[in-house]
Structure 1
Amino acid sequence: MSARKRILVVDDERHIVEFLVMNLRQNQYESLTAGDGYEALDIARRENPDLILLDSMLPGMSGIETCRSLKQDDRTSRIPIIFLTAKSEESDKVIGLGLGADDYITKPFGLRELFARIEAVLRRSARERTAPPEGALRIQDLAIDLERFFVEKEDLKIPLSPTEFSLLAALARGGGKVVSRKDLAESLALGTDPAGGRSLDVHLRNLRKKLGDSPRAEGYIDTVRGFGLKANP
């Protein structure tokens, strides 16, 4: 790793923060820490970390509200976020992904899984930031700008998370051909296990909602049962 990536750890439980910081250091990452959402916002705006590990249960400003504030601020909106959640917080996972978080991991988690997810999200983020200019793609009245990473519909920008943007671009590149769920999950670095499939479903549902699409009617994206997904050019 030529330049160490900086990861902001946001958790109010000191022993978890210390455990994560120690293991991040051992894996050649630099770390920043925050004990609540307000401190996390301040550090993220000032330091622009490469990734944020965000606990969903924080005192004062919740992890959900912190994520929303980060994604609404132009200074921090493109920083990838991985939610740290408890098994009982299934709704927080869905809400977090809907707000633009890139992934989640359930406590208690193993270090191998944690670092696999960190590396996958960082790879995806790096591809998006360094991708060569390709111009624009279109799906009906959607203009997908691959150079500046935004989507427009009738001259209005649609705010998408990095994963949602990558999913839409992957389908648009297919030119109306079916792309398998496995290929999509792999290209988005979500993994091909059941958890990766569920993450793909959540990102797809959020993307359709933002586009005003419906899975039950012909729109921008069609589900081809048993095969995968395709864009309707």
Structure 2
Amino acid sequence: MSLTTPNDAYFKSRRALMVASGLLALAVFVGIEPAESNSSSTIFSLKLTSPDKIQVIFAVVLAYTIWQLWAAWLTQTPEVRAFPINKFDVRLSFTVALLSLVCFFWPTFSGWATFLVNRASAAASERSQEAISLLSAAISVLVALMALLRSNAAVSARIRVKRRLEDSVLEKLLVSGSWELVFNPTRKSGSKIISFLVDGRIGEGRNANEYGWRVRDGTLEILNEMGAVFSRFREVGGHLEHTNDEDTLSLRHQLIVPRRSSTE
């Protein structure tokens, strides 16, 4: 047997699928009626008391044979499944089977579609005014939401601009001023001169803890040499007070105050 030839299980499943597809198509288009007058018929040595169910039986058989052919196709070798003739053959077989199923279910689908369309039309005619009212209300709510969002966006933009201005003012104040860091205020001792360079580094007083600085959201953040926030200050009445945030590493309640001149 050639490497591109399917096995016997595939051919048997395909033959069964074609037979089931043909029987269902004949039952749908040609019609099958009982030959006897006792309202029953015999098929495959079985007596059907309701011959009108023959199409349903054929449909079930066809669905099962579709599954059989699919299972047989999946068991084929990659060479068989990749061969163009075999791919065309299996696609054609499935197409015929699916068309037969569509023909069988078409009256049901058509009936459902007609029912849904009629029901939708009736509901539309009965509730047209209500729908218009709901639509108007929805449009009004949407317009109000858009106006609210636009207003919030404008407020947020103004807040961002204000914060940038405040940050800029604080940066200029820090760079131009002369400052003293009180790093142990609880003992009222321990302070040093500290200066802030334009490039974001601490000038005088720089060490591993007070290495760099930045202004963010109106606060002064002093960074250690690893880039982590060591302390954070907020300007209050001409000096800066520690925010005592949990994410800071320094002692709490520190102060940065203007440096007193030697003449004071």
Report the TM-score range of the alignment, normalised by the length of the smaller protein: under 0.3
Task: Give the structure with the larger strand fraction.
Answer: 1
- TM-score for both structures, normalised by structure 1: 0.20
Task: Give the structure with the larger helix fraction.
Answer: 2
Instruction: Give the number of the structure whose alpha-carbon radius of gyration is greater.
Output: 2
- TM-score for both structures, normalised by structure 2: 0.18
